Chain A
Amino acid sequence: DAGVTQSPTHLIKTRGQQVTLRCSPKSGHDTVSWYQQALGQGPQFIFQYYEEEERQRGNFPDRFSGHQFPNYSSELNVNALLLGDSALYLCASSFGGFWEETQYFGPGTRLLVL
């Protein structure tokens, strides 16, 4: 039973560029959440996708956008990259997005913006 997978594992971009990160949820899960973990900090919630729609959003600018596909996989897009966007981006999946459901995390994509 595959867990949450993310690609790529590492990425280097320059300021102003755009990046797309990908996530495949754990088998049987239909909800995907994205988190940003800056160095030395805890993960911060970016947004959550359920039934191909953004259901919740954290305090992140519109430069951060996402998408969920019919197979429940998801993408995180960041436009006009800033140095401060350098972080580990985590994807978490769960079932139904219900509060009683545990979120399972992937290994993350480490993004470095130069």
Chain B
Amino acid sequence: AQSVSQHNHHVILSEAASLELGCNYSYGGTVNLFWYVQYPGQHLQLLLKYFSGDPLVKGIKGFEAEFIKSKFSFNLRKPSVQWSDTAEYFCAVNAREAGANNLFFGTGTRLTVIP
């Protein structure tokens, strides 16, 4: 079975600070990796995804994530956060198997950016 761990439950940063949110997964096979964001009062939106190729993935709004296969990690980064980045961030995986694309989510990290 797949599982996802997000180590940080709540992160508080000042504007312009750098961000790194941790994500580790466990699964014996090949996975696809995702970061979704949920802004206050809005629905889950895809931030970025990794399927194959360059392990450094760039997403929307200046976010990026790096897939490190040996560490089973897919950490999210942003060099300089803005107040508008305040949101809940979810890491998710799905198994690269035929007929299966259900997502397994971590418990989420709440990011609060102080102006």
Alpha-carbon distance between A103 and B44 when the two chains are bound, in angstroms: 10
User: What mask results when residues 80 to 98 of chain A are scored 1 for a CB within 8 Å of chain B, else 0?
Assistant: 0000000000101010011
Interface residues on chain B, number (Cβ under 8 Å):
29
Interface residues of chain B, those whose CB is within 8 Å of chain A, are 4, 6, 32, 34, 36, 42-46, 49, 51, 90, 92, 94-108
Nearest residue, chain B, Cβ from A58: B102
Contact partner, A107, options B43, B49, B95, B104, Cβ 8 Å? B43
Interface residues of chain A, those whose CB is within 8 Å of chain B, are 4, 31, 33, 35, 40-45, 48, 55-56, 58, 90, 92, 94, 97-108
Chain B residues in 8 Å Cβ range of A102? 34, 46, 49
Chain B residues in 8 Å Cβ range of A40? 107-108
Task: Establish whether residues B95 and A43, one from each chain, have CB atoms under 8 Å apart when the complex forms.
Answer: no
Alpha-carbon distance between A103 and B52 when the two chains are bound, in angstroms: 17
Chain B residues in 8 Å Cβ range of A33? 101-103
Task: Establish whether residues B90 and A99, one from each chain, have CB atoms under 8 Å apart when the complex forms.
Answer: no
Q: Write 25 A-B pairs (CB below 8 A) sorted by A numbering.
A: A40-B108, A41-B108, A42-B6, A42-B92, A42-B107, A43-B44, A43-B103, A44-B105, A45-B102, A55-B99, A56-B99, A56-B100, A56-B102, A90-B43, A97-B99, A99-B32, A99-B94, A99-B100, A101-B101, A103-B101, A103-B103, A105-B44, A106-B43, A107-B43, A108-B43
Task: Establish whether residues B106 and A99, one from each chain, have CB atoms under 8 Å apart when the complex forms.
Answer: no
Task: Establish whether residues B103 and A98, one from each chain, have CB atoms under 8 Å apart when the complex forms.
Answer: no
